[in-house]
Amino acid sequence: MKVAVPVDEYQGLESQVYGHFGSAPLFVLVDSETMAVQALDNPNAVHEHGQCNPMRSLGTARPQAVLVGGIGMGAVIGLRQAGIRVWRAPQGTVDNAVRLFNRGELPELVDRATCQCS
């Protein structure tokens, strides 16, 4: 499964999970079966609060899942409408987040669990 994880700086699987989906400078795309990785720039990182366009952020990557530290409700809705599910990732490395995801140990986000960023 193709998984996208927002990060501040690309360091492969050692990249640190970024705290907020919409403003992340880039994403790490991970094949959750092979753990192969690639970097994906976020062309929508600079936007007004509440105006995140998650599909513009992900471009043509089309992951099946997004693992995030934080995300607004509008972005969750946009991702869900595109058939992409969202899970809360802990602070730490992309490697750890994907391994927890593979074991079914991350909570899937629902609207009430999104960040309350201001």
For residue 48, the domain's CATH number is 3.30.420.130
> In the chain, pLDDT over 70 holds for what percent of residues?
82
Tell me the average pLDDT across 107-116: 68
Task: Identify each DSSP E strand in the chain by its residue range.
Answer: 2-7, 26-31, 37-41, 65-68, 85-88
Asked whether residue 14 is assigned to any structural domain, the reply reads yes
Among the listed residues 35, 23, 22, 27, the one whose alpha carbon sits nearest the alpha carbon of residue 7: 27
Q: Residue 107 corresponds to which tokens in the numbers above?
A: 């909570």
Asked whether residue 61 is assigned to any structural domain, the reply reads yes
> How many domains does the structure of the chain reveal?
1
Range of the domain at 75: 2-85+92-103
Asked whether residue 118 is assigned to any structural domain, the reply reads no
Asked whether residue 63 is assigned to any structural domain, the reply reads yes
pLDDT in tens, 52-81: 556 667 877 889 999 999 888 888 888 888
Asked whether residue 114 is assigned to any structural domain, the reply reads no
Q: What is the pTM of this model?
A: 0.86
